[in-house]
Amino acid sequence: MQITEKKFVQRNRREILFTVSLFAYIAFHSACTTPKKPNADLSFTDDVQQTHVFRENPKRVVCLVPSITEILYTIGAEDKLVAVTEHCNYPEAAQKHPKKLVVYPNVSTEQVLALQPDLILTSTEVMSVKITEQFKPHNIPVFFINYSTLKDIPRSMQLLGKLLKTEKKANFLADSIENILEKYSQESILKRPKMWLVIGTQPLYTAGKNSFMNDVIRLAGGENIASGITNTAYPVLTREFVLAQRPEYIIVSKTQKNKIKETLLSLYPEMKVLPCLQDTSRIIGIEEDILVRPTPRSLQAVQQIKNHRIKTSNYLR
């Protein structure tokens, strides 16, 4: 049977249309199913030297450290937070966050996975790097941010601002903090009184040189008695070391201020000779969260210690 020219053209048209439609379907399907390639501009190295390359800026963040939570609110990235910890109490919005995770003694994998995060933020000051293995099988990056100096606060703000697309606000605030830190560092201090930061009494935990709290004391015009200890950020002191240093001031949390003298003398009676325990005006009480959390509020701790030093320097001998 012969095929007429008209039928031949019609059949060719149908075949061409079918082929075009097939290729269009394949192209559309490939575009929908092929995952996005990593973005070279979104490559970040965290503070435990892990390099993370993101396909897009994270939008669902689980934060496991109160200080980092506070910074996220400060730089305007709070809308990315799908969960914070039970200890995240500042600002008030963080305290009222609808999803609070229990992080001690362990973080629940199931609870975190249920939130479908694309980023977990934490710090080695509160968690072991082993947590990365907990979420590695689920392809959830665990990003560590650590603070060993006060300059790490604006640095982390800039980093998080770029990662979470709030760069403008983060950079502005970070620059402001850097300017304040520079102003403090340029102040001339004729005599730096020795200061003892008491974090614990049994044993005698304090902050060494590699802690941001050493910077707080230094910028406030004092000399940290443990500033020569570099092997750990938060060393344990011996009573002999404290006695030899003869600190002139004690810095404690505000809740401990009225009982620290009694506590120390009951445990270490020989410390009664220390200048910082012979006069209660030498005891400086700072709100605990401001004192121990590396955030923009650390500047308040600097100013409060500085004010106390200046106020009492006129009559302390």
Query: Residue 4: inside a domain, yes or no?
Result: no
Predicted pLDDT at 40 = 60
Strand partners, 253: 286
- What are the pLDDT digits (tens) for 141-180? 999 999 999 999 999 999 999 999 999 999 999 999 999 9
d(CA 84, CA 62): 6
Listed range (24-33, 50-59, 167-176, 215-224) with the worst mean pLDDT = 24-33
d(CA 264, CA 272): 9
Q: Which residues of 111-150 are buried (b: 16+ CB within 10 A; e: fewer)?
A: ebeeeebbbbbbbebebeeebbebbeeeebbbbbbbbbbb
Same-domain pairing of 230 and 159? no
- Looking at residue 92, its amino acid is E
Same-domain pairing of 139 and 74? yes
Q: Which range, 12-21, 32-41, 93-102, has the best average confidence (pLDDT)? A: 93-102
* Domain end among 166, 201, 220: 166
Predicted pLDDT at 6 = 52
* Mean pLDDT score across all residues of the chain: 90
pLDDT > 70? residue 139: yes
Strand partners, 83: 62
Report which of 138, 124, 141 is spatially closest to residue 48, judged by C-alpha positions: 124
Counting the structural domains of the chain, the total is 2
Listed range (7-21, 217-231, 242-256) with the worst mean pLDDT = 7-21
Query: Residue 226: inside a domain, yes or no?
Result: yes
Query: Residue 27: inside a domain, yes or no?
Result: no
Same-domain pairing of 206 and 101? no
Report which of 155, 188, 137 is spatially closest to residue 44, judged by C-alpha positions: 155
Ordered alpha helix ranges (H), the chain: 5-33, 66-74, 92-95, 109-114, 131-135, 152-163, 167-185, 212-219, 239-245, 260-267, 275-278, 288-292, 298-312
Query: Residue 234: inside a domain, yes or no?
Result: yes
* Domain end among 166, 199, 214: 166
Same-domain pairing of 51 and 162? yes
CA-to-CA dists, residue 226 to 223, 234, 246, 307, angstroms: 9, 9, 12, 22
Report which of 86, 90, 156, 146 is spatially closest to residue 122, judged by C-alpha positions: 146
Q: Which residues of 42-65 are buried (b: 16+ CB within 10 A; e: fewer)?
A: eeeebbeeeebebeebbeebbbbb
Averaged over 298-315, what is the pLDDT?
A: 91
Averaged over 96-110, what is the pLDDT?
A: 93
Query: Residue 66: inside a domain, yes or no?
Result: yes
Report which of 284, 287, 285 is spatially closest to residue 295, judged by C-alpha positions: 287
Same-domain pairing of 151 and 208? no
85: confidence class by pLDDT, cuts 50, 70, 90: very high
pLDDT > 90? residue 24: no
d(CA 210, CA 233): 5
Same-domain pairing of 158 and 194? no
What does 222-288 look like in DSSP terms, one character per residue? -EETTTT--S-SSPEEPHHHHHHH--SEEEEEGGGTTTHHHHHHHH-GGGGGSHHHH-GGGEEEE-H
pLDDT > 90? residue 39: no
Supply φ then ψ for residue 293, to 5 degrees.
Answer: -105, 125
- The domain of 259 spans 190-312
d(CA 206, CA 213): 9
The enclosing domain of 73 has a CATH number of 3.40.50.1980
Report which of 130, 88, 274 is spatially closest to residue 194, judged by C-alpha positions: 274
Same-domain pairing of 226 and 296? yes
C-beta of residue 248 within 8 angstroms of C-beta of residue 282: yes
pLDDT > 90? residue 188: no
Averaged over 175-193, what is the pLDDT?
A: 95
d(CA 75, CA 90): 14
